[in-house]
Amino acid sequence: MSTHLRHLRGLTIATAVTLTAGLALVFFYAPLDAEQGFVQKIFYVHVPLAIVSLVGFCLGGVFGLVYLRTGKRVWDMRSYCAIHMSLIFSVGGLLAGSIWAKASWGHWWVWSEPTLVSYLIVILLYCTYQPLRFSIEDPERQARYAAVFSIVCGAFVPINFILVNLSVQYLHPRVLNLQGGNMPNSMKLAFYVSLLGFSLLFATLMKYEMASKEMRIETRRLRRMLLGEDPAGPLVRSASPS
């Protein structure tokens, strides 16, 4: 456990340093956008949050697939934590995007923009994950159904991304595309450092959630041992929010 905590401490420090460096580059190194001015700075928060959340959803599907192949509960827990954390990041990305839209377009939301609508669809889809998961009483069926859900929806995320990028009409600012866009190198550097910082933040928060759940499982196991009960009894609910 002490080694595990040392790794968490190191990851936390790396995350804080990277995020601080990213913010410093965003506000003191990257130039102002010629068209949007200072408000474009929210791009360095909105886009990394969106990218990390979408990758996290896919990661949850990968973990779900590994769980179905191995049957090890730790992979089910990792899938749950990845999706849980991705939902938090996606809501943050959606809020940041709405603020950017209000400042740039004068509207909090534009339904004719495929990027925004497709991102909202993904978020709403994953909002059904927890209600579906915890509506099933049997722990084995719960983990199995949740894994299938995570795999199917995780496969939908890149397909949705490809379809949106094949759309003809764009309203959403294309500051960055698959080829790097037309951003100057200073803006690219600030963006990539911010992306790395938010990726590390995702990994850090996910590991803390995993450590918290593992500690709760161990506490339950010890409590049941002291009471003379079966120590494996309630541990199968390890990915529950309680």
For residue 212, the cross-strand partners are none
Separation between Cα atoms, residue 179 and residue 170, nearest integer Å:
17
**In contact, 57 and 86? CB cutoff 8 Å:** yes
Q: What is the pLDDT of residue 108?
A: 85
**Cα-only R_g, the chain:** 20
Q: What is the pLDDT of residue 116?
A: 83
Would the CA dihedral through 187, 188, 189, 195 be positive or negative? positive
State yes or no: pLDDT of 192 exceeds 90.
yes
Mean pLDDT confidence for 227-232: 62
Separation between Cα atoms, residue 9 and residue 3, nearest integer Å:
10
| pLDDT-wise least confident of 62-66, 146-150, 230-234, 236-240 | 236-240
Residue 31: pLDDT band with limits 50, 70, 90: confident
Residue ranges covered by each domain of the chain: 2-215
Separation between Cα atoms, residue 54 and residue 66, nearest integer Å:
19
Torsion of CA 155, 156, 160, 162, to 10 degrees: 20
- pTM here is 0.82
State yes or no: pLDDT of 2 exceeds 50.
no
Token couple for 181: 């866009």
pLDDT tens string 81-135 = 999 999 999 999 999 988 888 887 788 887 777 788 888 999 999 999 989 888 8
Mean pLDDT confidence for 17-34: 89
Separation between Cα atoms, residue 35 and residue 17, nearest integer Å:
31
Mean pLDDT confidence for 21-29: 91
Separation between Cα atoms, residue 65 and residue 75, nearest integer Å:
9
State yes or no: pLDDT of 1 exceeds 70.
no
The pLDDT mean for the chain works out to 83
Question: Which range among 58-62, 154-158, 225-229 has the greatest average pLDDT?
Answer: 58-62
Higher pLDDT, residue 17 or 181: 17
pLDDT tens string 138-190 = 888 999 999 999 999 999 998 888 877 776 555 455 555 444 456 788 889 99
Which residue type, as a one-letter code, is found at position 160?
A: N
Q: What is the pLDDT of residue 37?
A: 78
State yes or no: pLDDT of 242 exceeds 50.
no
